[in-house]
Amino acid sequence: MSPRVVLIGPPGSGKTTIGTRLAHALDTHVVDSDDLIAQRFDKPCGTVLSDLGEAEFRRVEEEAVEQALATEGVVSLGGGAVLSPATQRRLMDHVVVYLRVSVEEGVRRTAGDNSRPLLNVPDPEATYRRLLDERAELYESAANYRVHSDGKDPQRVVTDILHFIDDVESERRQVMM
């Protein structure tokens, strides 16, 4: 079993929204690693992060990512999942789409969301910029395809990803012939 596509990107890039719509378009389900963590601890993912601290949370997140990548359909990973070398290795065998978003748009989309403790700080823009600076290269190296989601209708983003998936699957069929 393997997902059709894995979505990565920073907080507010649209992974949940796009993942849900993409799963609907592909007539499959979506598995979100943050949801797996929330279910395991029976509390919101952000609360788990606050309770465990970032280091222990990342260890737990690795387990959730491994579980998510063992499913079919669409997988959406938490924004920091790419920080793990184990996750980086696991992503090499999958079709990975990086949902890119500008700092300004990411901050706008996450503003006032208390479920994101890493961004619930006095200067969320500076923190978001730092997160992107730390993670952008990891997102880029893990991705097979990149979509900038700023100012785009979610359905347009989904359509772009569907075209990419079709191309990848067509190439695989040709190789198998």
Annotated binding site: 12-17, 34, 58, 79, 116, 135
**Count of beta carbons in the 10 Å neighbourhood of residue 113:** 14
- In the annotated binding site for substrate, the residues are 34, 58, 79, 135
Residue 106: name the closest of 92, 116, 96 by CA.
116
Q: How far apart are CA 153 and CA 151, in angstroms?
A: 7
151, amino acid identity: G
Q: How far is CA 149 from CA 16, 61, 122, in A?
A: 13, 25, 26
- In the annotated binding site for ATP, the residues are 12-17, 116
Q: How far apart are CA 167 and CA 110, in angstroms?
A: 33
Structure tokens at 74: 């669409």
- In the annotated binding site for Mg(2+), the residues are 16
99 within 8 A of 147, measured Cβ to Cβ: yes
